[in-house]
Structure 1
Amino acid sequence: MKLRQLVAAGAIASSASLANAATSEQTQFVVEDIRVEGLQRVALGAALTYLPVEVGDRLNSFRVSQAIRSLYSSTHFESVEVLRDGNTLVIKVAERPTISNIIFEGNDDIKDEQLQESLDGNGIRVGEPLDRTVLTSIENGLKDFFYSIGKYNADVSAIITPLPRNRVDLKLLFEEGDAAEIRQINIVGNQEFSDSELMEDLELQFDTPWWDFLSETRYQQQTLQGDMETVKNHYMDRGYLRFNIDSTQVSMTPEKDGIYIALNVSEGEQYTISGVELVGDLLGNEEYIEKVLPLTKGELYNQAEVTYTEEFIAKFLGRFGYAYPEVTTVPEINDEDKTVKLTLSVDPGKRIYVRRINFNGNTVTADDVLRQNVNQMEGAWLSNNLLESSKSQLSRLTYMKEVEFETTRIPGQEDKVDVDFNVEEQPSGSFNAGIGYGDRTKLSLQAGIQQDNFLGTGKRVGVNLSTVSYQQSAQITYNDPFFTIDGISLGGSVGYSEFDGSDFNVIQYNSKRLSVGANVGYPIDEINRINFGMTYSNVELYNTGYYEQTEQFYNQFRGGDPEAPIKYDSYLASVSWSRNTLNRGLFPTAGSSQRATFSITTPNSDVNYFKTVFDTKFYFPLSRDNKWSVLARLRLGYGNGYGDINGNDQILPFTENFTAGGADTLRGFENNTVGPRGVQLFTNGRLIGPDGETYPGDASDAQIAISPRSLGGNAMALGGLELIVPTPFVDEDMDNSVRTSVFFDVGNVWDTEFDYNKYKDLTQANTQNAGRLIDYSDWKQYRSSAGLSVQWISPMGPMVFSFSKAIQEREGDDARFFTFNIGQTF
């Protein structure tokens, strides 16, 4: 802006001097007519409005200078010339060209949107006149930016291409080059701490090993300023109150591709705290604050603890509505005995109340739904704790992408503010529809929808219909997370399915199941919740194949007819506890979640069993922006029967067994294929089973056959580690919609009731596709895999693409390199 003003002033002064010369040689005259020449886009009437001279005015040198200055200030003209033709005032102008198009080329470090925003601030946009003087300052400003990030060979050129009708194309051509690498960092004057100790926490590094890809070896001026503050804090946190960085030298190689940095420091001596005093209004909480203060007489001075103390007192007062307190630490330094007395001056200010809470950015979700998740109340004190907890609760909603808040003071009312929550929504459900054909599945049709924010009400509604060769099912689910104003939730589900295991990756059986369930949840606090549920199921099993592991369950119901269908009713009661501190509902990068569920059938059920499952996930951010993070997850499960029927001990129905394999359990293995397989027993070529024959212990020709299909087990342990990394070639705006991770999965499903000793010495009749018999009761028969996973929150719902390599597999396992799933993320 300054450059533009100087150029404009120079042009005005030059024109004014010409005008003075003209008027000094000629007699001043009264203007009888005014003629403007050179107008193309600007209308004559518009040009005359900028001219402070009218017909009948006497023209002199001052009036000429005033006219030129006024015409230039209109920003429409590139040059202005004032002439006299008799008593006619002639104004010759050259209009500034209109910008027809703006093109950016070669810019990698600066986005087009950022560049256009900068140009808009300087009045350079399509359709506006081009001010060439501003371009020079923009070129220099962009060069300064590249220099600040170590690109000293960078160049920026503005290329103007004339077009017909006084228009131009403007191209900003960037030659960024490579950033200068840091060759060496030297710290001079340090005696108490070595260079390696001081540089350990610096963001700028040099001479790093090839595998340390997180290190920043490119020079950046802002990063250096932050590292200087890090060095200072290192000393100040250890009592060196007089520490100072005396000077900083940054030099580069002649080729401008290498940087040498030197910091000259004065360490000084260590100071201890001689006393701590609190002054001001602490709202009667002096005794409590004094007890929790980390600052203690006789200890070394610590700047971090001083800052923490100031922030703690400010946040503590913020709980009671004093949102803008002033907490200042005044040190009294005694250089003779190397002590410092700290006086904390506290001014709480006025208590602040919330006038109104507003929501911006929610185009689908109703304000009332968002307000249900906000703990801060209108008309109440402004509490920073309540605002932060409200942000966390909103962020955990699966249909929220970003949540931020700000407080705005109301003019004329010093004790009132408005709170504005700015939210960005994202797809809140999944949709699936498809038709396919396969050797095993034959013709398949499926359709379903699940919406976590149905019609913007915050309620979860799901409808799923599916028909494939192995299953036909229909299910409706519903959940209202705020059935009452206190946050009590209410939900339910109705489902029906028909299943044929012979056409899927499980043992042979057919089933029909009708289930109806309801659940209610109670909030314990902001992060803990407890849920109670009851589900009625009516199950019919028929066309059952014979497997050793299923006979004990079948024998509880069969009478004299081994071909008769098995029917049973169950009433499953459940209780679950959940805890959630994740920073987001989808694609979290920090925090943890835990869920423990215990379910048991009531004694009046036809089958008596229990199941318990525990899930936990921990996210550990590796970078300040949370783009790099580590996920550690664990899932444990166990189930079994209780009581007996007709003298037979009850066991967990095999239809309730745990299974593994697939995107949400063990990637790299086909869905539901990991774990125990069905065992069949033969003698004399005949199957020993429901026809009445039993295994003769002394039969020398007894054999076993292992089914290639999975049976599942009553125990499960699954875990994994994932390194979450920035997704390459994806815009930053998509960070919360696309996730890439490198993973390692490990786990197993086993059957604690399986008797391996009963079958281990028998001859195995087949090995094709099934593998050898192993001890299915051994939890150590684990599987593991590693690979790359990409997850995308698409308009149709979550999609997961996994490329996996099985590391530890067992004979007969169905390992898969590529898997694709819709509708589930983790």
Structure 2
Amino acid sequence: MKRSLISGFLAALFAASPVFAFEPFVVKDIRVEGIQRTEAGTVFNYLPVKVGDRFTEAQAQEAIRALFGTGFFDDVRIESEGDVLVVFVDERPAIAQIDFQGIKEFESDNLKAALKELGLAESRIFDRSLLEQAEQELKRQYLTRGKYAATVQTTVTPLERNRVAIRFDVQEGDAAKIQQIKIVGNSAFDQDELIDLFEQSTPGWFTWYTKTDQYSRQKLSGDLEALRSFYLNQGYLDFSIDSTQVSISPDKRDIYITISITEGEIYKISGVRLTGDLILPDETYRELVKFKVGDIFSREKVTESNKAITERLGDDGYAFANVNAAPEVDRDKHEVAFNIFVDPGKRVYVRRINVAGNDRTRDEVIRREMRQMEGAWYDGSKINRSKVRLDRLGFFDEVAVQTPAVPGTTDQVDVNYTVKERQTGNLALGVGFSSSESVVLSASVTQQNLFGSGNALSVGINTSKTNRTISMSYTEPFWTIDGVSRGFDLYHRTYDANSLDVSRYKTSSTGAGIRFGVPISEFDQINLGLALDRTKVTLYENSPPQYNSFVERFGNSATALLGTVSWSRDSRDSLLYPRSGSYQRAFLEFALPPAEMRYAKAIYQHQKWFPVGDLSALMLNGEIGWAKGYGGKTVPFYKNFYAGGIGTIRGFEQSSLGPEVVDPSDGDISSIGGDRRLLLNAEYFFPFPGTGKDKSFRLSTFLDAGQVWGDDDYKGRYKTFAFSELRYSFGLGFAWSSPVGPLKLSVAKPLKKEEDDKTQKIQFQLGTMF
């Protein structure tokens, strides 16, 4: 006799009691019907009864709930045939495959990974509710990319063995573009000035690359905060954003943004008080406060003041200092006073410094960069400086630092540095172009972190019409524990001046050298070097008499023992895109006895950057060079200074300025360089229109000045330094950090030039050359 004890579907609705009452019985056997993929043992594991047990109504309900809870089945039914318990199940299908059609905006592998986190993946049980969630999430992702016309349809196809195939069919459409950004309620500032603060923009020249004309809700939130910060930094304490309206055209291609604001009135600082536990001298705190009575209120300066005091206390060991500037607002007078409360907390010291993530780099390579010592008082500036030094090694993609308190103590912290190593070996093949040297091919093999020791080895080759170089160098940055570096160099260089506007000659130099770097402060370093150089000179029929005279006097090959001494100081905020700070370098190269050459060559450069606004910067650069022979010798002509072209004075041909000679055979005029040079550059950098805050594109306006002086010139000029002989040029520059290397382009016009000066209006350079 077959008895239906309970239906799984009804039991799910009415779990309190069975649908059909039955008499309990002793189970002699259990049989499972309807399974295709699920093992019978899986069902047995979830049943609360075994053969030989007495089966009751409560166990029937518990069995139904347990099998439904697995998520494997759409329906479960339990029946009995005599003393045999029969479990009927209707399995849910499994997902055999997931396909995507028409998707270009996202990678299929990334989408599958995201669906897997949602619970939708191949070999898993199919759940239609999860599929609907995935469809909605995919639509939402397209909305974040500005593709409001995107449609997503899903198709579920049954397959054999109770499986299904899922396909997402997508029509992405075009991204909606921001056609208008309108600000209502502004009177103190022009709308264009305010919109320039935004990351999003209307279509421009380069928005096809930057995508800043595509609407994003997250980016709009950031832009609104930038707008709010701007007004608060200008003194508008009561500024508010009343509403933000984003509308889309019927065809879902155009976005219109309207922002309504209330500016309010400008507030001034009426008072500044410092209270709390003031453990530092009062003048120290006053110097750290960035605002004073009478100043216009600026939230940025208040934040900077809090941060400066906190960091200063951190430098003295107060790692958990709390500084809070509480405002007291007088809305009638439009004034605000600040009570800066200082709580330094307890002074703490560093128990241990821990390093994690360095699988290849040796521990001592990292620890030698540390400026904070274990067992010493906590010093925030030294901890941050240690992080900067680790960043500048070039061995790591990321460097993070944390200073957790030691459990159970109130005066100890640990400093934990976590690094993410990068591949430090590099095989580079490159090509570059310039208006002076045409095609430049280069190749190099470099290992910056040899065997995890921090030592660097590089082998390079470079070829162009002018320079051909084969070189190898090895550097130990910590030859001594004090940070004195040592390096070795081998090189073979060929320089052919025939491709430049320089008198014809060719040199081939082979040499080897050793160098040392001695740090004298955190930002200053002195470098010392000694190299043995052998140079062979090749002249031609139309080479100038000065070159022939030199070869007749000293021969066409010369050996020189070259010593170098240099000092550098670099405080720029960035090596790639500097906006503030300075760079100074003094360099001296001299030939020592008993070698055949006797000369000294010195260069001093000073470069200063001044930030202008949020993205622009002014750069002033000055460089002076001087060379002199001694001991009855002269400066080799191939060591002369030259000027003209990108890097010196734009608008004039490469290396064309300074003393010149005339070829008697054809009357051609060419430069021979000189032993003194002065370069002056002023350049204003600003973002390329339409690129927003992307720093890889930069425009500039520049003014270049300079000249080269020497003893020989066919008109008798340039023998003594004179400002009247300087050449000037001005123009526009463009710089782009392209995927194939840095691109520099200038369009310049000389402001002052002589009749025989050779000019070049457009000059460019693509790629990095040795």
The one-letter amino acid of 2:13's match is S
TM, length-normalised to structure 2? 0.75
The one-letter amino acid of 2:76's match is V
Query: Residue in 1 aligned with 2:132?
Result: 136
The Cα of 1:540 is off from its aligned counterpart by 5.9
**2:276 aligned with 1:280, yes or no?**
yes
Which consecutive residues of structure 1, in runs of 5 or more, have no partner in the other structure?
A: 1-10, 435-444, 559-564, 683-702, 729-734, 760-776, 793-798
Query: Residue in 2 aligned with 1:309?
Result: 305
Match of 2:151 among 139, 142, 155: 155
Structure 2 CA distance for partners of 1:616 and 1:44, relative to 1, 3 Å: farther
The Cα of 1:85 is off from its aligned counterpart by 4.0
The Cα of 1:341 is off from its aligned counterpart by 4.3
Query: Residue in 2 aligned with 1:391?
Result: 387
Whether contact under 8 Å (1:400, 1:424) holds in the other structure is yes
**2:544 aligned with 1:547, yes or no?**
yes
The Cα of 1:653 is off from its aligned counterpart by 0.7
SS in 2 for 1:493: strand
Whether contact under 8 Å (2:9, 2:76) holds in the other structure is no
> Structure 1, residues 61-87: CA drift from partner, whole Å, max 9, x if none?
654443333223334334434444444
The CA distance in 2 between the partners of 1:676 and 1:660, in whole Å, is 7
SS in 2 for 1:23: coil
Alignment of 1:151-300 (within 5 A): 151-185=147-181, 187=183, 198-206=194-202, 216-266=212-262, 271-297=267-293, 299-300=295-296
> Structure 1, residues 736-789: CA drift from partner, whole Å, max 9, x if none?
9xx899999999995633323279xxxxxxxxxxxxxxxxx9774999998887
The one-letter amino acid of 1:578's match is S
Query: Residue in 1 aligned with 2:601?
Result: 611
Q: Which moved more, 1:630-639 or 1:111-120?
A: 630-639
The CA distance in 2 between the partners of 1:152 and 1:510, in whole Å, is 64
Structure 2 CA distance for partners of 1:141 and 1:68, relative to 1, 3 Å: farther
The Cα of 1:330 is off from its aligned counterpart by 3.2
SS in 2 for 1:373: coil
Structure 2 CA distance for partners of 1:352 and 1:504, relative to 1, 3 Å: same
The CA distance in 1 between the partners of 2:608 and 2:162, in whole Å, is 63
Match of 1:655 among 632, 638, 646: 638
The CA distance in 2 between the partners of 1:93 and 1:144, in whole Å, is 37
Which consecutive residues of structure 2, in runs of 5 or more, have no partner in the other structure?
A: 1-6, 432-440, 718-723, 751-755
Match of 2:569 among 579, 587, 591: 579
Query: Residue in 1 aligned with 2:711?
Result: 753
**2:469 aligned with 1:482, yes or no?**
no
Structure 2 CA distance for partners of 1:353 and 1:589, relative to 1, 3 Å: same
The Cα of 1:482 is off from its aligned counterpart by 1.6
Whether contact under 8 Å (2:651, 2:749) holds in the other structure is no
Whether contact under 8 Å (1:666, 1:785) holds in the other structure is no
Query: Residue in 2 aligned with 1:766?
Result: none
Query: Residue in 2 aligned with 1:80?
Result: 76
**2:510 aligned with 1:520, yes or no?**
no
Structure 2 CA distance for partners of 1:119 and 1:510, relative to 1, 3 Å: closer
Structure 2 CA distance for partners of 1:100 and 1:372, relative to 1, 3 Å: farther
Query: Residue in 1 aligned with 2:87?
Result: 91
The CA distance in 1 between the partners of 2:612 and 2:11, in whole Å, is 62
Query: Residue in 1 aligned with 2:435?
Result: none
The CA distance in 1 between the partners of 2:224 and 2:767, in whole Å, is 48
Whether contact under 8 Å (1:432, 1:446) holds in the other structure is yes
Whether contact under 8 Å (1:150, 1:219) holds in the other structure is yes
Structure 2 CA distance for partners of 1:661 and 1:166, relative to 1, 3 Å: farther
The CA distance in 2 between the partners of 1:668 and 1:800, in whole Å, is 23
The one-letter amino acid of 2:135's match is E
Q: Which moved more, 1:63-72 or 1:14-23?
A: 14-23
Structure 2 CA distance for partners of 1:421 and 1:623, relative to 1, 3 Å: farther
Alignment of 1:347-386 (within 5 A): 347-351=343-347, 353-360=349-356, 362=358, 364-386=360-382
The Cα of 1:221 is off from its aligned counterpart by 1.8
SS in 2 for 1:652: coil
The CA distance in 2 between the partners of 1:259 and 1:236, in whole Å, is 28
The CA distance in 2 between the partners of 1:316 and 1:112, in whole Å, is 50
The one-letter amino acid of 1:553's match is F
**2:416 aligned with 1:419, yes or no?**
yes
The CA distance in 2 between the partners of 1:65 and 1:619, in whole Å, is 79
Query: Residue in 2 aligned with 1:49?
Result: 45
The CA distance in 2 between the partners of 1:490 and 1:428, in whole Å, is 20
The CA distance in 1 between the partners of 2:467 and 2:206, in whole Å, is 49
The Cα of 1:119 is off from its aligned counterpart by 2.7
The one-letter amino acid of 1:71's match is L
Structure 2 CA distance for partners of 1:73 and 1:412, relative to 1, 3 Å: farther
**2:621 aligned with 1:638, yes or no?**
no
Structure 2 CA distance for partners of 1:639 and 1:159, relative to 1, 3 Å: farther
Structure 2 CA distance for partners of 1:224 and 1:786, relative to 1, 3 Å: closer
The CA distance in 1 between the partners of 2:445 and 2:262, in whole Å, is 67
The Cα of 1:278 is off from its aligned counterpart by 3.2
Alignment of 1:666-681 (within 5 A): none
The Cα of 1:489 is off from its aligned counterpart by 1.9
Structure 2 CA distance for partners of 1:680 and 1:209, relative to 1, 3 Å: closer
Structure 2 CA distance for partners of 1:111 and 1:663, relative to 1, 3 Å: farther
**2:589 aligned with 1:599, yes or no?**
yes
Alignment of 1:675-714 (within 5 A): 706=668, 714=675
Aligned residues: 735
Match of 2:120 among 115, 121, 124: 124
Match of 1:533 among 529, 535, 541: 529
Whether contact under 8 Å (1:712, 1:749) holds in the other structure is no
Q: Which moved more, 1:654-663 or 1:474-483?
A: 654-663
> Structure 1, residues 558-588: CA drift from partner, whole Å, max 9, x if none?
6xxxxxx356554444322223346777x66
The CA distance in 2 between the partners of 1:284 and 1:196, in whole Å, is 46
**C-alpha RMSD of the superposition:** 5.4
Whether contact under 8 Å (1:673, 1:814) holds in the other structure is no
Query: Residue in 2 aligned with 1:318?
Result: 314
SS in 2 for 1:757: coil
Structure 2 CA distance for partners of 1:741 and 1:284, relative to 1, 3 Å: closer
The one-letter amino acid of 2:712's match is F
The one-letter amino acid of 2:43's match is A
SS in 1 for 2:286: helix
The one-letter amino acid of 1:547's match is P
The CA distance in 2 between the partners of 1:338 and 1:292, in whole Å, is 25
Whether contact under 8 Å (1:430, 1:449) holds in the other structure is yes
The Cα of 1:483 is off from its aligned counterpart by 1.8
Query: Residue in 1 aligned with 2:4?
Result: none
Q: Percent of aligned pairs with the same residue?
A: 32
The CA distance in 1 between the partners of 2:362 and 2:574, in whole Å, is 19
Alignment of 1:51-66 (within 5 A): 51-55=47-51, 62-66=58-62
Structure 2 CA distance for partners of 1:512 and 1:121, relative to 1, 3 Å: closer
